[in-house]
Amino acid sequence: MTNSIHTMNDSHLSLRIELAYIEPLIWRRVIVPTSITLPRLSEVMLASMGWQNYHLHEFTIEGVRYGVPDPDGFDVAMNPVDEAGVSLTEVLGEAREFSYLYDFGDDWKHRVVLEGSQAADLPPHASACVAGECACPPENVGGPPGYMSFLEALVDPANDMHLEYTHWIGSSFDTEAFDVSAANERVQGVGMYKGA
């Protein structure tokens, strides 16, 4: 791999996405086009993990925050740089790692590592999920601490929250379950109706 992302000739990038503060590690590997924009990358990452894209998100790359600014203009100083139309390669510079925050209430922090560039057997603007491990936590479970409490309650019928969580999740929850084909199908569906 060359020193600068801007000199790479290959059409796609390999990114490893890791969910912070959870063990065993929940991770995904996605292949994305070098031209991918931050909004589209967010959609791909969420689809690969299993998140539903119900909440706001924010990237921090080279110390700069990118996301969707508050449309009402409140607290302008706290607003991130508008991610619309910004490509990953445009802002990555020499960085090989950046962070991604999903759901400002639950605070799901993701570590994203650029593994390299490659020629991929994919259409020029297509993305894919090619590997990963462990199930994504449910939406709105309360972030890492809430997720740990959720797991404890599920396995302990004496826990005050056992019945509530069992009804809420609707079925058994296997922390080790990960279906790469299903994740890839979700990823490949990103942008299908948006002129990807």
- Boundaries of CATH 3.10.290.30 in the chain? 5-135+174-189
The 10s digit of each residue's pLDDT in 39-82 is 999 999 999 999 999 999 999 999 999 999 877 766 666 789 99
| Second CATH level (architecture) for the domain 5-135+174-189 | Roll (3.10)
**Amino acid at the residue 128:** A
Which pLDDT score is estimated for 10?
Answer: 66
Q: Please state, in angstroms and rounded to a whole number, the distance separating the CA atoms of residues 96 and 133.
A: 22
pLDDT (mean) for 113-136 = 90
The 10s digit of each residue's pLDDT in 159-175 is 999 999 999 998 788 99
The 10s digit of each residue's pLDDT in 82-115 is 999 999 999 998 899 999 999 999 999 999 999 9
Q: What is the pTM of this model?
A: 0.88
* DSSP, residue by residue, 134-184: SPPPPTTS-HHHHHHHHHHHHH-TTSTTHHHHHHHH-S---TT---HHHHH
Strand order in the sheet with 57-61: 81-82, 64-67, 57-61, 97-102, 108-118, 12-19, 26-33, 128-133
Which pLDDT score is estimated for 196?
Answer: 40
C-beta separation of 112 from 17 below 8 A: yes
C-beta separation of 53 from 33 below 8 A: no
* pLDDT band, very low/low/confident/very high, at 4 (cuts 50, 70, 90): very low
